[in-house]
A and B are shown apart, each in its own frame.
Chain A
Amino acid sequence: MIELIAQNPILAALVALVGLSILFGALLGFAAEKFKVVGDPIVEQIDELLPQTQCGQCGFPGCRPYAESIAAGDVINKCPPGGQSTINAIANLLDVPAPELDAEHGVESEVKTVAYIREDECIGCTKCIQACPVDAILGAAKLMHTVITDECTGCDLCVEPCPVDCIDMLPVAETIADWKWTIPAKPGQMIATDRRGAVASADHNEDAA
């Protein structure tokens, strides 16, 4: 047998290659079982990019269900709190074109807000506590409630259930600690005629003339 293989190089090559493929096939098969990924990793990645306000404006009960839905092929522009930057990030991740935010689900807000309970008006019905997706409201039945501002995601789910309308969504005030410099105007835009608006108005003036 050995001699036969030694005599026939083609046979020898065949035996070697078949042997190697069986070996590596077994190795890959073992690895596939051993390092099997449970669940869908893309859901995790999409969930990471979503803003976690848990507001349900997308029509799903929280960010993760929406992430699961996106992974299953849903459109990516249903998240107003995340806004365009979140849409861009998800589009980048999934390698699809980034659409505009779907206005049907709400508009992107410039300022961050947190819920505030006017405490002397609160009747202690606990309805807002049940509505809060992140347990950021503190209180008990027939006792005043209050919002833990640091935990509030600004989803405004607590505003609707309040029977006495004592919850306001207040903008978060900027402090020295989180103040930041702004990007200066683009170089070259300092020349008045370079500005698109200026050109448009010049055209308009010509039209009028």
Chain B
Amino acid sequence: MSRTWVTPGGVHPPENKHQSLTQPIGQLPIPAKLVIPLSQHIGAPATPCVEIGQQVLKGQVIAQATGMVSIPMHAPSSGTISAIEHRPIAHASGMLAPCIEITTDGADTWIEHQGISDYEHIAPRKLIEIVGNAGISGMGGAGFPAAVKLNPGRQRPIHTLIINATECEPYITADDSAIRERADEIVQGIKILSAILDHPHNIMIGIEDNKPEAIAALAPHVEGSGISVVVFPTKYPSGGEKQLIYILTGKELPVGKLPADEGMVCINIGTTYAIKRAVIDGEPLISRVTTVTGDAVGTPRNYDTLIGTPVSHLLEHNQFNEQAGGRVVMGGPMMGFTLPSADVPVVKTTNCILAPSYAEIPDDEPAQPCIRCGMCAEACPVSLLPQQLFWYAQAEEHDRLEAHNLFDCIECGACSYVCPSNIPLVQYYRAAKGDIRQARDEKVKSDHARERFEFHKERIEQAEREKEAKRAARREATQQAKADHAAAAANGSAAPATSSASPSSSTADIIAAAQARAAAKQASPEDQRAKLERTIASAEQRLQMAEEKLAEAVNSDSGKQDKLSAAVENTRQKLEQSKSKLAELAE
């Protein structure tokens, strides 16, 4: 048996696992309605690809993955899509989230599906695609898409595959009972994983020593397969990814690193079963083993539960005594949260529904002041200083919290468990983490706003500058045009003296232009004389004609007499003028 390492801290709460292990995994009648939340995993919510009223078959895709880190959703049973809307989901906030509701028809008709038995000869990329299309996300708790975890787009080859069968939280026995009954399929799933990861030379199943039946069930199937079952002492929390890696390999994952960066992959044992079903049977992830336990239920046991089954359906079929227990917890007593209502659906990460009686888990006692006993620091599996974090969280000193590595806290609840003053420490850390994240988001947003504001200012200024430049250009153009006009006029004249005149000063220009025009009129005396002679000739003719008309008018004694005599006088005057001009010119 290989060596194991011991994590710091940890607690030993009462296990309470035996209650739910008395019976095999049960089957429930198909609920009348299934509600499938679109976000059951870390990453982008899935996008619905069905319409209200559409008939769906068991295993049919009802929502597509959105982007890389996302998974599709499948219909857990056949029926009709009856709603796509916001519904209450299993979340501590009690808020609504987008869901698809299926009204089941009870026939449970499978869609046509086909598995691959010969997975050894299939390219890992293709196998990963099958895992992704089957909508498999981590079933241990966080719900990280399995296909992304297995993606070979990484630098280092994987040398260690760790299968997490720890199940360290009290009450929960979903993995334990699954191993007992489905050990062969689980080991097949591990072998598929091994093929996908190009046969890492170290494959370990990490399991706590409080599950001897499960260990015994695994033994015959792993024999000779190169898979080792590593048993280590029971302690809470050992099932965290970083904790388990340390227990099995003695390596501490640096902050911000993924196991893949160190050549390791850690997969929950429930996920390996889902991978086997996806690859060999061609079935997507539509059900999971969920523990229903606590003193307020009739028979604590495990159920193979369809995803989307309302928690109330699970409780109804298990003689839930509402008087005995006041609340229903999703998850275990350490890390679980009280459900806002029992109508929320079971999702891919729901490993336990705990309905404790009042005596079993009493309501929170009022918190007393911190006495700085330091028991929380001893219990912390990440070697943080919970009491310091508590003070800083109260004072909202965010930089101090980050300096004390608040974000390494795995929220396991060991500190709250040992606290003699009943201080809900984890809630402080969650609140502080939320505040810090919000502050970071706001910082990003305000930086973005600043950028946009600067750009806006720059744009306005540029527009102003351009307008100013245009105005200046127009002014310049007007002046230039004026000057050009003057210069052109000056250049057009014969007199060389005026052509050299400066075009800039406008009044002088206008005068000069007028003079130039006058000079132009005086130009070429021969032409002028000829013109004048023509004018005189035509005027003499007109005068003659006018005089004849006048004589006619006088003879006929019409009313035009005055007018005609005036015209004759006018013509005579013009003739006189032209004659005098001609005489001037002749001089």
Contact = CB atoms under 8 A, between A and B. Distances in A.
Contacts of B442: 51
Interface stretch (A11-19, A139-147, A162-170, A176-184): A176-184
Contacts of A175: 95
Nearest to B337: A181
A135 B394 contact: no
Nearest to B430: A181
A15 to B, nearest CB: 50
Contact of B431 (A153, A181, A190): A181
Nearest to A155: B449
A51 B39 CA distance: 32
Contacts of A63: 450, 453
Given A179-B93, A187-B367, A47 B450 contact: yes
B285 interface: no
A181 B367 contact: no
Given A187-B368, A187-B423, A54 B453 contact: yes
Given A51-B446, A134-B453, A180-B437, 15 more contacts: A47-B450, A52-B453, A63-B450, A64-B453, A134-B456, A151-B448, A176-B96, A176-B97, A183-B427, A184-B427, A184-B428, A184-B431, A185-B367, A187-B369, A190-B366
Nearest to B454: A64
A33 to B, nearest CB: 29
B431 A180 contact: yes
B427 A181 contact: yes
A185 B441 CA distance: 26
B541 interface: no
Interface of A: 47, 50-54, 62-64, 132-136, 151, 153, 174-176, 178-188, 190-191
B316 interface: no
B367 A180 contact: no
B424 interface: yes
Contact of B95 (A50, A132, A176, A191): A176
* Interface size range of chain B in the complex: 35 or more
Given A178-B438, A187-B370, A133 B431 contact: no
A183 B453 contact: no
A135 B396 CA distance: 34
Contacts of B435: 180
A96 to B, nearest CB: 19
Given A186-B394, A188-B367, A180 B438 contact: yes
A31 to B, nearest CB: 31
Contact of A188 (B96, B368, B433, B453): B368
Most chain B CB neighbours (cut-off 10 Å) among A52, A178, A181:
A181
A184 B367 contact: yes
Contacts of A54: 449, 453
A136 to B, nearest CB: 8
A183 B456 contact: no
26 contacts: A52-B447, A52-B449, A54-B449, A54-B453, A132-B456, A133-B453, A134-B449, A134-B452, A135-B452, A135-B455, A153-B449, A174-B95, A176-B93, A176-B95, A176-B97, A179-B91, A179-B93, A180-B437, A181-B431, A183-B393, A183-B394, A185-B367, A186-B394, A187-B368, A187-B421, A190-B366
B423 to A, nearest CB: 5
